[in-house]
Chain A
């Protein structure tokens, strides 16, 4: 498999990363280089193998339902790009 320019565009859209037409070819080449490395995966027969998503075989530990967090809006919003009336501001969202 190889990643063509159209796919680069699709991936960039999914990842929300702007790629100029000039960068697309270069990006596609770089991604295909990595893909070439990754393709070796296909050489192994993994039939019947259980996927391993975590580094350890443990069950999730659960938290008791207690509220321990205090309001820290001021300190959190001190590092925000744009806020008003306690809200984070973003360009208008159209539904």
Chain B
């Protein structure tokens, strides 16, 4: 039988606010346990929540970016369940009336575009963390993360393969970073994803029973976990079995999913409107105000790069992958006054490979856009050859100064003095009578030998065009 896979994603993006969703404690990652958990976060008796305006702004920003409906009136509800990292015994979330409803996002896979529906995006608070290292057989609870604002982005079950799911996830990841509402750090858990996966016979319109996959914390694992789960479900069904609706954890060490034991009993969350929080009402002015802060979105930027800078779709894609990368590129173009394509080559080539090699984000690049522009200017005015420029770049990367300083210090300035080059050319010809004879006898490939010798003698600094011209003249019979 042919099977069709149906996937929907629930993405949790931690909103990049300074303080928590309902308290004025810091959200910074990595603090000592429970030092960023204030009275509200640890749910002392009597404390009350007050919602963070910035989190509302960020949610609206996301909603506008996906062309969604912004609910002017949304409601916080309590989701009741017991868990040690959930101090109140309920999570403040949005249930019946989310802040963002009905948006969509276009993904591209192998050159084919597809629209993925986004059912809703709602505000809620994060839980703390359970540390399972051994504390005499007990679990340690750190509530620093408790109360951090989250935007839960729920897609329609529109994806049909693990690859599509990853493409969508990456697209959302790119978007939230563009909007500067989430730092997107998957290792630290600020961008997380649960996947609802089911399979059905091809042609069937009813959805199959789904499993919810949790704990998938990288793009690679999302693909692997879903692929594993699809295979598991198909095997199960083809063997005459049934898929049970359950939550499963992805185990990246063994590359498999297994049922989550703590969620065995069907949950009854008893959602009801939080009596501590009146409705969240956002007027048109609030939304308009957020709209003004919307940056150019990735798709628009890509199109503009292709049109304005004459870039290939591929280069435009690489350069707009993050807002920081795109900003870097445009700053360099503006400062250098150079051919945007050459700038693109440098950013996607030399710079990107250095970033990858040293595992750095563009924001941490030791070579700023202005510094790269400075180097490109020296290539343009023939101060340094393209080849040596790479050496200059490497030295700049080490943090040893800008292009001019490096060229100067290392004596990498190009020799353009015709007389000086001619002297070297003459000397090389004089040293190589045998090669001269063979060349003149018709072995033209030896031209390269002479160029190489001249460059070697000048440590690569002679202007290649001038060397070529002189050699052609002098080697002629």
Contacts and interface: CB of A to CB of B under 8 A. Distances in A.
A86 B33 contact: yes
A87 B135 contact: yes
Given A54-B275, A87-B140, A90-B84, A66 B262 contact: no
Interface in A52-75: 53-54, 56, 58-69, 71-73
Contacts of B17: 65
B260 interface: yes
B26 A88 contact: no
Interface string B133-147: 001011111110000
Interface centre among A13, A69, A88, by most B CB within 10 Å? A88
A84 B24 contact: no
A89 B33 CA distance: 12
A58 B278 contact: yes
A14 interface: yes
B262 A88 contact: no
B34 A93 contact: no
A38 interface: no
Contacts of B34: 73, 76-77, 86-88
A53 B276 CA distance: 10
A93 B262 contact: yes
B19 interface: yes
Interface residues of B, number: 54
B261 A94 contact: yes
A1 interface: no
Contacts of B288: none
Contacts of B281: 59-60
B33 A95 contact: no
Interface stretch (B38-46, B109-117, B322-330, B457-465): B38-46
B69 interface: no
B417 interface: no
A39 to B, nearest CB: 20
A72 B278 contact: no
Given A60-B51, A87-B140, A89-B140, A76 B44 contact: yes
A78 to B, nearest CB: 12
Nearest to B274: A53
A42 interface: no
B261 A60 contact: no
B408 interface: no
A85 interface: yes
A16 interface: yes
B196 to A, nearest CB: 19
A68 B33 CA distance: 18
A91 interface: yes
A88 B278 contact: no
Contacts of A88: 34, 84, 140-141, 143
Interface of B: 17-19, 23-26, 32-39, 42, 44, 50-56, 76, 82-84, 130-132, 135, 137-143, 249, 260-262, 265, 268, 270, 272-273, 275, 277-281
11 contacts: A53-B272, A62-B51, A62-B53, A62-B56, A82-B138, A85-B33, A85-B140, A87-B140, A88-B140, A93-B132, A94-B262
Given A59-B279, A85-B135, 11 more contacts: A53-B275, A62-B51, A64-B53, A65-B52, A66-B24, A68-B24, A76-B39, A85-B140, A88-B143, A90-B138, A92-B139
Interface of A: 13-14, 16, 53-54, 56, 58-69, 71-73, 76-77, 82, 84-95
